[in-house]
Chain A
C-alpha cells in the first residue's frame, strides 16, 4: 500500500498542498540487494585519515575549462579541502595527475595536462603542503574517463586527479 503514497501525494498536492511526510513518515527502502548498494569499505564509519576518507569526504578530482589550466573557485574549494587534509595527515605523498581532451593532438594534451597538474601543485603548496610531497604527471588525452565527441565526455576528461601514495 505504501507504494501508492508518492502518487497519491502528487495528486493530493494539487488540491491540498499537504506534506506527505507529516502523515506517513519517511518511506524507508530497506536493503535493496546484495550486489548493488553493499557497502564498499567502511560505509559511514570511515576512518579519519584513511584513503577512503579522502575519496568520500574530500574528493580527488578538480575540473578545468577547455584549453584552460587556471583554477576556478570550485577547483580551489576542493584543493583547500585537499590541502587541509594533507596538512593533517602528513604520512601521505601525492601524485597529481593531469588529463586533457579536445582540441589538439596527444602532445598538446600531454602538455596541457602537465600545466594543469603544475597549477594544482602550486596551489596546494600555497595552502601549506610541502612541495616535496607532491609529484606531477600528465596522461594527456591517453586515458579519458569517458570517450565520446561531446562535452559530456570532454568536461569529465579535463581534470586533475590527486592520488594518495
Chain B
C-alpha cells in the first residue's frame, strides 16, 4: 500500500489527533493491512477500500429471512447481535454487520432518520472532551474522520437524539463492541445504506439485551 497505517491515522491533523483516534476507535490489529484493498473514490474523497472478504461472512451485506412487524423500507438496529436491517416485503430484509459503540447501547426505541450527511464532520461530545481535552474540538469530514463516509442522524419529534449510524475505516471493528461511537458500518455499506434510505425513514433500535441470555 502506498499509504501506511500511521499516515492513514494521522491524516491531516498530527499527533494530537492520533491520540484522539486511539480514544475514539478500536485498537488496530497487527495485520491491519489485509483489511484494505487499494483505494476507492467517493466524490472528492479517496478512501481505503475495504477488503470485504476479510469480514466474517455473517457481517457482510446479504438478503435474509427476518421476522418483523415494521413496514418495508424501515431500519431495525439490533445491537445485541450486531446487525442492522433494512426491511423488505414478505419477512425478508437486507442485513448488514455493524460495530456497536458505547453510545450505541445507551438508547433504544423508535426514531426517524432526521438528517443525512456525506463525509460528515465530527464534533466530540462535551463529556468525551472532558475526559480527553487533547481531542480536537472539531474534525472535518474525510477519510480519516471516525464517522467515515456517511452519517445518518436519528431524530424523534424533531429533536436530535445524538444517536448516529455512521461509517468507519476500521473494518476489524465490525461485529464487535467498541469503546466509542454509535452504530458503525464499513464505508462501503454505509454508502449503500445512505442511498436506500430517504430522510424521514423509520428506525427501530431494539433494546440492548445481555448477550449471555438466550435469544
A33/B215 contact (C-beta < 8 A), A27-B177, A39-B62 known = yes
A155/B201 contact (C-beta < 8 A), A6-B177, A20-B176, A37-B95 known = yes
A6/B208 contact (C-beta < 8 A), A55-B63, A152-B202 known = yes
Q: Is B61 in contact with chain A by the CB < 8 A criterion? A: yes
Question: Is there contact, CB below 8 Å, between B72 and A146?
Answer: yes
Q: What band does the interface of chain B fall in when counting residues whose beta carbon is under 8 Å from A?
A: 35 or more
Which B residues have a C-beta under 8 Å from some C-beta of A? 23, 25-27, 56-58, 60-67, 71-73, 80-83, 92, 94-95, 100, 102, 105-106, 112, 131-132, 172-180, 192, 194-196, 198-202, 208, 210-213, 215
12 A-B contacts (beta carbon < 8 Å): A6-B208, A20-B176, A26-B176, A36-B67, A40-B92, A46-B62, A55-B94, A56-B62, A56-B94, A57-B61, A145-B71, A146-B202
Q: Smallest Cβ distance from B111 to chain A, in angstroms?
A: 10
What is the CA–CA distance of A74 and B174 in the complex, to the nearest angstrom?
A: 25
What is the CA–CA distance of A5 and B56 in the complex, to the nearest angstrom?
A: 20
A156/B71 contact (C-beta < 8 A), A20-B176, A26-B175, A26-B176 known = yes
A10/B102 contact (C-beta < 8 A), A33-B215, A156-B200 known = yes
Inter-chain contacts of B71 with A (CB < 8 A):
145-146, 153, 156
What is the CA–CA distance of A20 and B73 in the complex, to the nearest angstrom?
A: 33
Question: Is there contact, CB below 8 Å, between B57 and A44?
Answer: yes
Question: Is there contact, CB below 8 Å, between B179 and A17?
Answer: yes
Inter-chain contacts of A5 with B (CB < 8 A):
177, 211
Inter-chain contacts of A6 with B (CB < 8 A):
100, 105, 177, 208, 211
Instruction: Name which residue of chain B comes closest to A5, CB basis.
Output: B177
Question: Is there contact, CB below 8 Å, between B172 and A21?
Answer: yes
Question: Is there contact, CB below 8 Å, between A37 and B172?
Answer: no
Q: Is A19 in contact with chain B by the CB < 8 A criterion? A: yes
Closest 9 CB pairs of A and B: A3-B212, A155-B200, A26-B176, A151-B200, A63-B198, A22-B27, A21-B26, A155-B198, A3-B211
